[in-house]
Each structure stands twice: as structure tokens, then as C-alpha cells.
Amino acid sequence: MSKNKASILAKLLDKQEVKSLSKLLLKQKKEKQEKLLRLLISSNDYSNEKAMIYQQLYQGTYSKEKDYLLRNDLRKLSTSIIKFIKNEVNGDAAYLNLLRERKANSLFEKEIAKAINKTASTQSETNLQIQKIYFEYWLANCPRKLVSLKSVQAKLLACINNISDDKPVHKSSFIVQLSVLERIIWQHFNEEKPTDLSSIITPKLLQNKTATYLIEKAFSFQLFGLERIKKLENCIKYLQLCSEEFYNDTEFSYLQSQLGLEYFLIPDFIKSKPHFEIAYDNISILSKSQQMQLVYNYSSMLCAAEDFTAANEILNKHVSLFKATPFESTIKLFALMARINSNQLDDLRSLLPPSNEVLAKDVQVYTRIYECIILYYEKEYEVCVSYLENIYNTSRYNSFLDKAFIEFAKLFQRLVSALLLPKSDEKTNKIEGCLTASNAFIDAYELGFGSNMLCSVWLNKTIKEHVKN
């Protein structure tokens, strides 16, 4: 696919925007740009159709020597489109948000990097908004590798130190982002030394009610369990004291989703569910990253409460949220396991990622494990055992894999191997031994998240069925 900037920008526009821009270009007597816009929109791949576009635009044969003509008009059209979008959405920050919302990630990363280089040393309202968008994006999309996350952490700390206390709400917003990032680092790498927030919070910041709320919110990300629940309840009280300009249903709904998560982790599903329901009823007003968190966490709670049908419905309804993110394949596999656990077993293979799809190393292994579950339902036991043995032997020393999946593969292989035996006391004893091991396994993993939790639940349930039979 083309990586040409003008082509990417042209395809971002909806029909009404194209119509308005075409009209504007013609009014400005930029007929060639208007024609190029229509050619780019109708093309499937600029790189392969460049010669055809050149011929229709200039009524001549394309050659490398004449390529400068096309490059020049493409640059002019890019400038016109960007100017049009900024006028439509009101400003540089809104333009960057539009790129992100319409999933033009590669272009967004280039544009935000240029904007950050221009704005890093200044503290205007627009520049601070751009920096906030920058960090929001990387919190959602930064690879979950320690070196990458630490790099974003260093940039956030530098940003916070550069912002004056005369901008209390902005400074406190970045402190919240820092706490979110450090919680991600803790979740993935078990690093338990978050920034001492008291070292960067000044009395002047606490004079502002909105900043005070945000600082309470930042502290909440450094706490767990009942302590975090108490802090989140305080956040709701502080939120109600904020100015009408800041207080809104979005922030309230986000706090409800976090309370749902913490009660789930205690675990207390009865108290968790109503908080998740309040947040989910307002999912449309949450930011994209908040929506993704809510869908994943709420579905995990429903699965832990064995309401697999509801979880399956939510995951499938919102799977498009995760498109073009690092979690796209993960959420599809989560939905697959929710569907299996709700006994919807038709056409399971259609839910696996396409064989030609480029997957991260860990997702490749997890996909093979799910394929083994499908082989089990297809009663291809010998093939299933062979796959599982290979997965365990080739993956058990890989640090990038969740160890729960590797232990699951080993235990699953024990079960299927036992099923291949003829009916005998030996077969019965081996299956009962699998159940003992599975009970210990599920104690460790049933309150996890997503697919690893569902795999442990499914395997335990499956072994129990074989013990009964």
C-alpha cells in the first residue's frame, strides 16, 4: 500500500469533506489539485497506479525524469488538505486527534513528532494539548517492552518538570499520565518503585480544585485493592468540587470503570458489576483507550463470574475498537475463548487470525494453543498432542511469553494424551491426576485477565466432564 502523504490524507476524508474540499479548491482556481484529489481517492494503491495518475493529470507518459512534477503537486495538495482539516476541526491539536481517531497511525506518528519538536520548549495552550495527545497515544500504543516504556517515562518526567505551577491543571494531567505509565510498567515487569509524587507536587498545585482531583487520581494508580477503592471514592468526591468546565460524565464514568476493576480484583463480583454497568452504559463518551480498558476488564470480570455469553457479546460488539492497535489479535483470541466457554462451537477456525497476518511472537504461540483447542473439538487428538508438545518444548524458555500459557499447554497435553489411551484404570487415573493439577492451576490463574484466565477455566471444566464420564 502507498505511504504517500497526500494519498493517505485524501483517503481520510469522508464524502462530505471531499465534496467541500473539491468545491474550495475549484473556487481557489486550483483545478489540478482538485483533479489529483479525485484521482487519489479513486486509486487503490498510489505506488502501483502512479503512472496512470500522471497520465490523467498531465496528459503525458510518466517517467522518472518528470516525477518532480507529480511530487510538487502532491506536496501542494497535502498542504491544502491539512489546512482544510485544521479549519474544519479548529486547530493543530484537533488535526492530530483526527489522524489518531481515523487510525492513520503512521502519519500521526510523523506529524506528532514534528509538532512535539516545535512545541517542547513553549507552554501555550495548544502546545500543551499537543504534548498531552502525544503521551496519550504512546500510553495506548507503546510496545510493552521495558526500554520503550522507560523512554516514555523519561520524556513525561521532563515534560512535568518543564511546566510551570501556573498551569496547575495541565501539570496535574501529565502527573496522572506518569502514574498510569508506571502502573503499566508494574503490571508487565513487576517494578514496584513508582515516582514519589510528593516530590513533584507543590502547595500551589493543590490550591486548584481540579488539579487536586487529578493529583488524587494520580495517587490512585499507585495503590491496590481496598486502598485504591477508598482513593477512587475520594476522587469522585473531589471531582464533584471541580469547575463545571472540567466535571463531566466522561470522567465520572471512567472512575466507575476503575472501581469495577478493583472490586473484580479483590474479588467481589457482586460489587464490581454495578460499577462496570454504569461505565458501560456510557461507553460512547469515553476516550478510545478508556473504552478499550473497559471492554477488556468488564469482559474479564464477566468471564470470572462465568457469564461467558455476555462477555462474548461485548467482545464481539467492540472488537473494531482494537483494530490497528497492538492488542488487535489478543482481543480476537479473547473473544474466541469466550465463545468456546459459552459453548458456541460452530466455525471456530474462522475466528483465528489469517495465516498471512503478521503477528507478534507471543501472539503466534498463543494462536497455536487456540488451534490446539479447536483440534480437540475436531477430535484430532494425535495432531493436538504433537502440536502441544512442540509448543511446550520450543517455548518454555522464552521470556516474552506468559508462563501461564506454557503451563496450560503442558497440562492440556497431559489430558489429550490420556484421552488417547484405551478405556482402563490407567486412563481414569491419568485424567483424575489432570484434574488435581488443573485445580491447583486454576487457583493461580482464574482471576487473571483475558485469554489465560479463560484457558484455565475451560480446561478445568473440560477435565471435570471427562472425569464424570
- Report d(CA 226, CA 217) in Å as an integer: 15
Helix axes 92-101, 105-119, angle to 10 degrees: 160
Query: What was the pLDDT predicted at 342?
Result: 86
Mean pLDDT for 361-366 is: 78
Pick the residue with more confidence: 355 or 142? 142
> Does the pLDDT at position 358 exceed 80?
no
10 Å CB burial of residue 41 (0-12, 13-18, 19+) is middle
> Does the pLDDT at position 263 exceed 90?
yes
pLDDT digits (tens, 9 = 90+) for 183-236: 999 888 877 688 999 999 999 999 999 999 999 999 999 998 999 999 999 999
Q: Spell out where 231-292 has E strands.
A: none
Query: What was the pLDDT predicted at 356?
Result: 65
Which of 269-273, 275-279, 302-306 shows the lowest per-residue confidence on average (mean pLDDT)? Answer: 302-306
Query: What was the pLDDT predicted at 245?
Result: 64
Report the first-to-last Cα separation within the chain, whole angstroms: 54
**DSSP per-residue string spanning 308-347:** HHHHHHHHHHSGGGGTTSTTHHHHHHHHHHHHHHTT--TT
| Residue 337 in grid coordinates | 475463548
Choose the most confident range, by mean pLDDT, from 127-131, 275-279, 310-314: 275-279
Alpha carbon distances (Å) from 189 to 144, 231, 408, 441: 9, 24, 21, 22
> Does the pLDDT at position 357 exceed 70?
no
| Residue 322 in grid coordinates | 482494537
Q: Who contacts 118 (Cβ-Cβ below 8 Å, separation ≥6)?
A: none
Query: What was the pLDDT predicted at 401?
Result: 61
- Report d(CA 166, CA 153) in Å as an integer: 23
Query: What was the pLDDT predicted at 1?
Result: 40
Mean pLDDT for 2-21 is: 88
10 Å CB burial of residue 358 (0-12, 13-18, 19+) is exposed
Query: What was the pLDDT predicted at 138?
Result: 87
Closest CA to 361 of 316, 321, 405: 405
Closest CA to 339 of 291, 374, 379: 374
**Which 3 state secondary structure label does DSSP give 302?**
helix
Question: Confidence class of residue 314 from pLDDT cuts 50, 70 and 90?
Answer: very high
| Residue 453 in grid coordinates | 484466565
- Provide the CA 462 distance to its chain's centre, in angstroms: 31
Residue 42: count of CB within 10 angstroms of its CB: 10
Q: Who contacts 248 (Cβ-Cβ below 8 Å, separation ≥6)?
A: none
**Which 3 state secondary structure label does DSSP give 451?**
helix
CA atoms lying within 13 Å on the CB side of residue 65: 2
The pTM is what?
A: 0.70
| Residue 268 in grid coordinates | 467481589
Closest CA to 462 of 389, 377, 402, 336: 377
- Report d(CA 12, CA 96) in Å as an integer: 12
Alpha carbon distances (Å) from 354 to 180, 259, 371, 436: 33, 37, 12, 36
138 sits in the region (left: phi over 0; alpha: psi -120 to 50; else beta) called alpha
Query: What was the pLDDT predicted at 329?
Result: 79
Mean pLDDT for 349-374 is: 79
Question: Confidence class of residue 113 from pLDDT cuts 50, 70 and 90?
Answer: confident
- Report d(CA 210, CA 250) in Å as an integer: 15
222 touches 198 (CB < 8 A): no
Average pLDDT, the chain: 87
pLDDT digits (tens, 9 = 90+) for 59-91: 989 898 989 999 999 999 999 999 998 888 778
| Residue 262 in grid coordinates | 478493583
220 touches 254 (CB < 8 A): no
10 Å CB burial of residue 351 (0-12, 13-18, 19+) is middle
